[in-house]
Chain A
Amino acid sequence: MNHELFTNMQKQMNPSPEVRAELSEKLAQPAKKRPVPWMKYGAVAACAALVIGAFTIYGYSQDSGKWMIFVSNFQHDVVDLPMHSYVTVEGMTGYVAESTAAVTGGEGSEEHYMTNVLDRTDSSGGDRDMGMAPEDLEQAMLDVGYTLEEIEEYQSIGYQMTWANWWKFVHQQENSEGADPFNLEGLKLFSQKELYVNTGALPGGAYIGDAPTQEEAVNAYEKLMGRFNGQYPDWYGGAYIDNTGTLIVQLVEDKDPGDKTLELQVLDWTDDGRVAFSSCKYSLRYLRDLQDKVVDAMSELDLFSSCGANEKRNRLDLKLTSVTDEALALLAELDPDDDAIYVQVGQRAAADVGRDVREPAIIGEDPAVRHVMPGGTPVPDDEDLIADEPYYDGAHYDLEELPEKKLPQEEMRPATTVDSAPEEDVSTSCQFPQE
């Protein structure tokens, strides 16, 4: 090893004076901020996203059901056109009069609300929710043995009898133990519980039910409408009268919750009437505009049945005679959030009041509905929803500990003889509820 040679070579390995001077000059300058290695950070972020994505997909792949849902949702969201959800209705029998605002009441309705509905369907059928014409009521009362005097006295009160309630009354009285079931007092008692009295009409033609308790709310509503002068402001989402007789005014959510100016203004307009407030998503003006578009679109497709603004639910209730992908795509375009239009699809059932009266549990409730996915896949027909209810033995009601095999008494008991209907309509608790 030649140490001297290497030492000499090392001594010659030094920078030139120019380079050294340049370095001194750079060192004398203020230090520059070191560049941020964005490329490195970007690569790290991409790797992290890749790992997270891989774990997500791996987690889904562990459960084939979840994986199928994931693939289905991906195909639906990315590949397919968005489709509006809807429910199919077996024997859709909703009765709505053309261009009227109705106050609903009676069994199954906890609150009265106003809704303006357009309906093109024939209202001459015998649907169970239809109102009875005076001559129909007279004939029906004669049929069960009422005298003309009793009929005249009853009709003078002004109860709005419907076919469904009439047959309910008939069924109830037939099963009673009294010697004279069809007496006037019994009918009056029934009517007080189940019916409302026709004492006048709201500005939109709505009837006033329970007039004494709703009078203040109706007055407040009239005052409020007088202020609007036919032009609804953007903050107004509608109004309805609840079961306490209070007028609930819906205010659109986008206003500042701490700002009570509107509430004070409405109270001032209504002379501090019986008014309360609630928040909602859509203004009534928006819903009315949307209603026009929906009616036009569905009419062109020849699917339209009826459409009304449900001010209590803050949505449009749309009924179609049938459904097509084109209609659902159009509705999805009009209602991107899928919550402004409640779509019901189904043919009107033939009038069969005699059968309906044998099923008192369904009178006054929503019709049995079947929820379907936007693609239109219904719940299987052979699924006995009532029989699948958890068995209640009086002491335990634990969903986790239910026996897989049905208990003998369940198997022996037909669904139609269940004593108490479930509180929730099971057919409406499918996986795509609209509410």
Chain B
Amino acid sequence: MEALPLRAGGEMDEMIDRYQNTVYGLALARTGSRADADDVFQEVFLAYCQCGKTFRDEEHRKAWLLRTTINQARRVTSSSWRQKTVPLSEREDVPVLFQGPEENRVWEALQALAEDYRLPIYLFYFQELSTREIAKVLAIRPGAVRMRLTRGREQLREALKGEFFDES
């Protein structure tokens, strides 16, 4: 993997190529809507371009992007303008669809989880972060991450009738 400059703002195309799935996936998991995820995706990289920050290493940069993604997603979903102008039914009409039926089932089950469980599950299984990294991104203790993973897995196992989450 080619090294990118640690100062934000340079080599933006390469940067987006490398982290677009990370940012977009987390935004999608958090908001449940492609339209909102599109907004969050753009806002995160615009903020990255303008922040002028110099990162210690790639881990630091990735953690910053994930944290900013969660913040932007929260801002988008909690804005009063959105709450007043976007009907809930309109959002339900545009589901997030994957190629395979199993994938759609897993996604629906994941979206059915409470946010406290959904984000640790997503970051652990989809982004393959360690509990320590998840704790940093979500600003909670590693023990709390492990507890939420356990409870989230139980709920998913029950929703998916034992498929996909038989082993931890």
Contact = CB atoms under 8 A, between A and B. Distances in A.
B154 to A, nearest CB: 14
A22 B126 contact: no
Nearest to A34: B50
Interface in B33-58: 37-38, 41-42, 45-46, 49-50
Contacts of B125: 1, 6
B155 to A, nearest CB: 15
Contacts of A78: none
A189 interface: no
B42 A26 contact: yes
B100 interface: yes
B126 A15 contact: no
B21 A14 contact: yes
B49 A27 contact: yes
Contacts of A5: 102-103, 106, 164
A311 B167 CA distance: 101
Per DSSP, are chain A's interface residues mostly helix, strand or loop, or mixed? helix
A409 interface: no
B99 interface: yes
Contacts of B103: 5, 8-9, 12
Contacts of B100: 8
Nearest to A22: B42
B120 to A, nearest CB: 14
Given A1-B167, A6-B126, A20 B50 contact: no
B133 to A, nearest CB: 16
B38 A19 contact: yes
Interface residues of B, number: 31
Interface in B88-126: 98-100, 102-103, 106-107, 125-126
Given A1-B164, A20-B16, A26-B42, A9 B98 contact: yes
Interface in B1-48: 12-13, 16, 20-21, 24-25, 28, 37-38, 41-42, 45-46
Contacts, number: 67
A13 B21 contact: yes
A8 B103 CA distance: 8
B22 to A, nearest CB: 9
A11 B28 CA distance: 13
B126 A9 contact: yes
A231 interface: no
A9 B164 contact: no
A79 interface: no
A89 B39 CA distance: 81
Interface string A124-144: 000000000000000000000
B16, B28, B42, B102 — most chain A CB neighbours (10 Å): B42
A31 B50 contact: yes
Interface string A56-78: 00000000000000000000000
Interface residues of A, number: 22
B79 interface: no
B25 A24 contact: no
A1 B167 CA distance: 5
Given A1-B167, A2-B164, A27 B12 contact: yes
B46 A23 contact: yes
B165 A14 contact: no
A226 B110 CA distance: 101
A10 interface: yes
A13 to B, nearest CB: 4
B20 A14 contact: yes
Contact of A10 (B46, B102, B127, B168): B127
B13 to A, nearest CB: 7
A30 to B, nearest CB: 11
A304 to B, nearest CB: 65
B156 to A, nearest CB: 11
Contacts of A15: 20, 24, 37-38, 41
Nearest to A33: B50
A20 B102 CA distance: 28
A10 B21 contact: yes
A11 B42 contact: no
Q: Which 6 A-B pairs have the closest CB atoms?
A: A13-B25, A19-B38, A23-B42, A2-B164, A10-B126, A15-B24
